[in-house]
Amino acid sequence: MSDGKIDLDIGTGSLIGPVEGEVIVGPAALDDLAGDARLWPSAAPADEALVLSLEELLPDVEGTVVMLTDASLPVNLVTDELLAGSGVVGEAFCAGGLDVEGLYYYSFANGLTLYSDTDIVIVSATTGA
């Protein structure tokens, strides 16, 4: 080591440790874990909502996003993009490969159109209202 070079072989075995042991999880343990997991709440409290930013949505090549949600989970969309139009699709129309007739739609000035099966609250990113 006096020549300025570092000898990497000295003591590295004890730092890394031996590779041994194998973890095996049986099906019964996985069933217990899955039973305890709650990915989707059965009913969200009234003050909780799924909050998304318009920038988080990934539109298809036509500029559309189709969002299907749980009716018990309100959705808030945060953006400062101007809303160019909104309403309910009244006639048979496909977007993103899905029939969106009867869904809510929100068209934004940037060209993105969001279709949703539930009404969405649009919140201003700057004012929060």
Give per-residue pLDDT as tens, 7-44.
555 555 555 555 555 555 455 555 555 554 444 444 44
Structure tokens at 30: 């996985």
Q: Dump pLDDT digits (tens) for 43-69.
A: 445 468 889 999 999 999 999 999 988
Q: What value does the mean pLDDT take over residues 66-76? A: 88
Domain extents in the chain: 50-124
Q: What single DSSP character describes residue 82?
A: P
Distance CA 102, CA 16 (A): 60
pLDDT at 19: 52
Distance CA 99, CA 39 (A): 27
Q: Dump pLDDT digits (tens) for 80-120.
A: 999 999 999 988 777 777 888 899 999 999 999 999 999 99
Contact criterion met (CB below 8 Å) for 79 and 52: no
pLDDT at 15: 52
pLDDT at 124: 85
pLDDT at 81: 93
Distance CA 46, CA 72 (A): 9
C-alpha torsion sign, points 55, 58, 63, 67: negative
